[in-house]
Amino acid sequence: MKVVYDLIIIGSGPAGINSGIYAARYKLKTLIIGEINGGMAASAHEICNLISYKTIKGFEFAMKLKEQIEHLGVKIISKKVVDIKKDKLFEVNVEDEIFFSKKIIFATGSEKRKLNIKDEGKYVGRGISYCATCDAAFFKNKIVSVVGGSDAALTAALLLSEFASKVYLIYRKDKFFRAEPAWVEAVEKNEKIQTMFNLNVIELFGEKFLEKIKLDNGLILDASGLFIEIGSNPSSNLASQLGVNLENNFIIVDINQETNIKGVFAAGDVTNNNLKQIITAAAGGAIATTQIYKEIKSDV
């Protein structure tokens, strides 16, 4: 017999998990489908702005999300949604199975941007990384570079300085105007980190593994590791296929987190909210689920 969920949440980051927490409290029949447990937050070195924690590692935070959702008994599966259709119900396809639901929340977050230079793909896992938290420990006593100027880039450089012998922090602008002042100060005080402004990485060298990088001023640096932290793109393709309206690829939502398509909601970094953080992602999930509960209760 066909199982019909009240709600399918796509994504198991802070927006998806908090949607699930509220759905459990509202006793909605819910399924969460998420590829990466904890989402982007899992790759945060240290989260220092989260209510109720002085500080918590991203990985530990992701484990706590999983623990909490499992404790509430919400069904969660680690798969990638590859297609979604709307008939009377939504049909959510994860390659080997199709799930049916009355409502959908896109909590799909975003994907790390690539530098898009020659051989970038060749060196992924062989020196190039998009996640310092995951890979920093592999670079003990090595020379590494970080590209970017946001909080993510600065915190990656700080984490790497705990392992590497030297960290170049390469940024295309002339100052860190997007980063939190506290992180900028920590980077400036760190003797292992050398900041290099107004520069871009343009070429990569190495036999099997990355060995050197070339900058657009001609300088060639030793680099066993290159950490790319230049932002991310919203994962809104599936929503777009359903006809959801986007703005610069972010899903447009109203004050209830609903999109232009009836029954389709979105929360977190994939939406056009003004602040891409854990707290706002979680809040968006709570608002979306509350509206869904009201609609399901009144059979809209």
Ligand X SMILES: Cc1cc2nc3c(=O)[nH]c(=O)nc-3n(C[C@H](O)[C@H](O)[C@H](O)COP(=O)(O)OP(=O)(O)OC[C@H]3O[C@@H](n4cnc5c(N)ncnc54)[C@H](O)[C@@H]3O)c2cc1C
Residue 266 Cα distances to 152, 273, 293, angstroms: 24, 10, 15
Does 105 engage in binding with ligand X (CB under 6 A)?
no
Total binding residues toward ligand X, as defined by CB under 6 A: 35
Least distance CB 157 / ligand X (angstroms): 11
Q: Could you say which of 276, 283, 286, 288 contacts ligand X (CB under 6 A)?
A: 276
Q: Could you say which of 5, 7, 9, 11 contacts ligand X (CB under 6 A)?
A: 11
Q: Could you say which of 4, 25, 49, 219 contacts ligand X (CB under 6 A)?
A: 49
The piece of 159-167, 169-177, 277-285, 289-297 that touches ligand X (CB under 6 A) is 277-285
If the CB atoms of residues 110 and 195 are measured against ligand X, the closer one turns out to be: 110
SS3 31: strand
Angle CA(151)–CA(154)–CA(157) in degrees, nearest 5? Answer: 145
Can you say whether the dihedral through the CA atoms of 185, 189, 190, 193 is positive or negative?
positive
Beta-bridge partners for 170: 147, 196
Q: Which of residues 186-215 bind ligand X (CB under 6 A)?
A: none
SS3 147: strand
Beta-bridge partners for 228: 147
If the CB atoms of residues 10 and 104 are measured against ligand X, the closer one turns out to be: 10
Q: Nearest CA to 25 among 64, 73, 65, 67?
A: 73
Q: Nearest CA to 76 among 7, 2, 1?
A: 7
Q: If 0-12 CB within 10 Å is exposed, 13-18 middle and 19+ buried, where does residue 20 land?
A: buried
| Token pair in block for residue 86 | 């709307």
Does 149 engage in binding with ligand X (CB under 6 A)?
no
Q: Could you say which of 144, 179, 244, 278 contacts ligand X (CB under 6 A)?
A: 278
How many Å apart are CA 259 and CA 274, to the nearest integer? 16
Does 153 engage in binding with ligand X (CB under 6 A)?
no
Does 150 engage in binding with ligand X (CB under 6 A)?
no
Least distance CB 72 / ligand X (angstroms): 17
Q: Which residues contact 159 (CB under 8 A, 6 or more apart)?
A: 45, 46, 132, 133, 136
- Amino acid letter for position 182: A
How many Å apart are CA 122 and CA 105, to the nearest integer? 35
Least distance CB 134 / ligand X (angstroms): 10
How many Å apart are CA 107 and CA 90, to the nearest integer? 16
Q: Nearest CA to 142 among 172, 162, 125?
A: 162
Does 21 engage in binding with ligand X (CB under 6 A)?
no
Q: Nearest CA to 229 among 122, 134, 163?
A: 134
Annotate each residue in 81-100 with x if it binds ligand X (CB under 6 A) or - if it does not, as one string. x-------------------
If the CB atoms of residues 83 and 216 are measured against ligand X, the closer one turns out to be: 83
Q: Could you say which of 68, 249, 260, 277 contacts ligand X (CB under 6 A)?
A: 277
The piece of 34-42, 170-178, 215-223, 248-256 that touches ligand X (CB under 6 A) is 34-42
Does 32 engage in binding with ligand X (CB under 6 A)?
no
If the CB atoms of residues 234 and 263 are measured against ligand X, the closer one turns out to be: 234
Least distance CB 201 / ligand X (angstroms): 19
Least distance CB 188 / ligand X (angstroms): 19
Positions touching ligand X (CB under 6 A) are 10-16, 33-36, 39-41, 43-44, 47-49, 80-81, 107-110, 152, 235, 238, 268-269, 276-279, 281
